[in-house]
């Protein structure tokens, strides 16, 4: 008589995964409120920081250009403001962007915590890594954009030719800088989305590998449309790291799929009963065609 069928004990249900619609909406409201509070506090700190180094840090790429490519007033390099509320709006815009970056780990964690109840237990442990990787990748993209800002400005402003006085207004320059930093930061997040989809089992390594050429081509097209400068230097500076990150995402997906296949095979083995054959290695052995020692 066969023994009892061996099966793994089912993990207990997560109570958060069975919440009602009203409970989900309440949780969403609370998490949005926490994220907005963190963003507000970080924006307030950045508003104070603007006058204590942040504004000078943003103006540095422009003020580092040759004197014929920038406005030089009585008090040195500066940006023009042509309306009464221009200074307030510029400071608020910079403070909001800096606050969003500073509070990114917190509101990204709130986003992940809201999604987590709908995931499996083995998928929840990726939360810390997801938040950390998102913050680091956005920061790397923003740093790369800031480093390339001077070269991009010099290339674009020099195309005006001789006999042209260049005097950028503060809204134009700040808008350009903000859009460039956000574009680079967000673009560096895109390969992470591919890894996240692979971790939850939506996107396989096989699909990513077969689509590699299309991914790289679309990355270049994406960089051409997203970069505010529209110049080849900035476009390639964005597309190059993105292609490397996508290749890294493909290799991560390959490792994850291999581990998932081994884990599923092991789970299937434990689910077998005593009267069922175990899944042995299907590859033929050299002993299969060898004659038996009792064969005459």
DSSP-assigned letters across all residues of the chain:
---PPP-PPPPPPPGGGG--HHHHHHHHHHHHHHHHHHHHHHHHHHHHHIIIIIHHHHHHHHHTS-GGGS-EETTEE--B--STTHHHHHHHHHHHHHHHHHTHHHHHHHHHHHHGGGS-HHHHTTHHHHHHHHHHHHHHHHHHHHHHHHHHHHHHHHTT-TT-----BHHHHHHHHHHHHHHHHHHTTHHHHHHHHHHTTSS-HHHHHHTHHHHHHHHHHHHHHH-SS--HHHHHHHHHHHHHHHHHHHHHHHHHHHHHHHHHHHHHHHT--TTS------S--GGGSSPPTT--
* Dist CA 29 CA 255 (whole Å): 37
* pLDDT > 50? residue 13: no
Looking at residues 118-124, what average pLDDT do you find?
59
Q: Which residue is associated with the tokens 């014929």? A: 68
Indicate the range of 19-28, 155-164, 210-219 predicted with least confidence: 155-164
Domain, as residue range, for 229: 19-262
pLDDT at 91 over 80: yes
Q: Is residue 131 a part of any domain in this protein?
A: yes
Q: Could you give the number of structural domains in the chain?
A: 1
Domain for residue 54, yes or no? yes
Q: Is the pLDDT of residue 6 over 50?
A: no
- Domain presence at residue 239: yes
Q: Give the integer Cα–Cα distance in Å for 243 and 95.
A: 31
Asked if residue 125 is part of any domain, the answer here is yes
Average pLDDT over residues 94-99: 88
Q: Rounded mean pLDDT of 286-296?
A: 52
Q: Tell whether 116 is covered by a domain.
A: yes
Residue carrying structure tokens 């930061």: 185
In a domain, 3, yes or no: no
pLDDT in tens, 65-81: 777 777 676 666 778 88
User: For residue 169, which phi and psi values (nearest 5 degrees)?
Assistant: -85, 155
* Cα angle: 184, vertex 109, 136; to 5 degrees: 35
What is the distance between the alpha carbons of residues 245 and 187, in angstroms, rounded to a whole number?
A: 10
Residue 208 lies in a domain: yes
Question: pLDDT digit string (tens) for 99-111?
Answer: 888 888 888 788 7
The per-residue pLDDT for range 214-270, each reduced to its tens digit, is 988 988 888 888 776 666 777 888 888 889 989 998 888 889 888 888 877 776 655
Q: Is residue 295 part of a domain?
A: no
């Amino acid at each position: 008589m066969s023994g009892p069928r061996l099966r793994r004990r089912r993990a207990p249900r997560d109570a958060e995964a069975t919440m009602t619609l009203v409970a989900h909406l309440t949780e969403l409201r609370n998490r949005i409120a926490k994220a907005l509070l963190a963003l507000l506090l970080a924006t307030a700190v950045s508003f104070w920081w603007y006058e204590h180094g942040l504004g000078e840090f943003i103006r540095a790429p422009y003020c580092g250009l040759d004197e014929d490519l920038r406005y030089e007033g009585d008090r040195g390099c500066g940006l023009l403001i042509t309306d009464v509320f221009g200074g307030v709006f510029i400071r608020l815009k910079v403070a909001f962007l800096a606050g969003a970056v500073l509070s990114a780990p917190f509101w990204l964690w709130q986003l992940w915590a809201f999604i987590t109840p709908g995931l499996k237990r083995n998928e929840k442990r990726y939360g810390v890594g997801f938040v950390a990787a998102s913050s680091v990748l956005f920061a790397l993209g923003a740093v790369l954009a800031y480093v390339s800002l001077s070269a991009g400005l010099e290339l674009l402003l020099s195309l005006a030719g001789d006999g042209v006085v260049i005097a950028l207004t503060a809204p134009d320059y700040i808008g350009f800088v903000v859009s460039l930093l956000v574009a680079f930061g967000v673009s560096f997040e895109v390969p992470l989305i591919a890894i996240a989809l692979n971790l939850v089992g939506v996107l396989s390594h096989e699909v990513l590998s077969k689509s590699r050429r299309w991914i790289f081509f679309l990355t270049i097209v994406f960089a051409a449309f997203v970069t505010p400068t529209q110049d080849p230097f900035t476009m390639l500076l964005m597309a190059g790291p993105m292609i490397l990150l996508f290749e890294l995402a493909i290799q991560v997906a390959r490792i994850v799929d291999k581990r998932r296949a081994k884990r599923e095979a092991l789970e299937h083995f434990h689910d077998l009963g005593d009267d069922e054959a175990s899944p042995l290695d299907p590859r033929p052995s050299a002993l299969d065609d060898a004659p038996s020692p009792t064969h005459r």
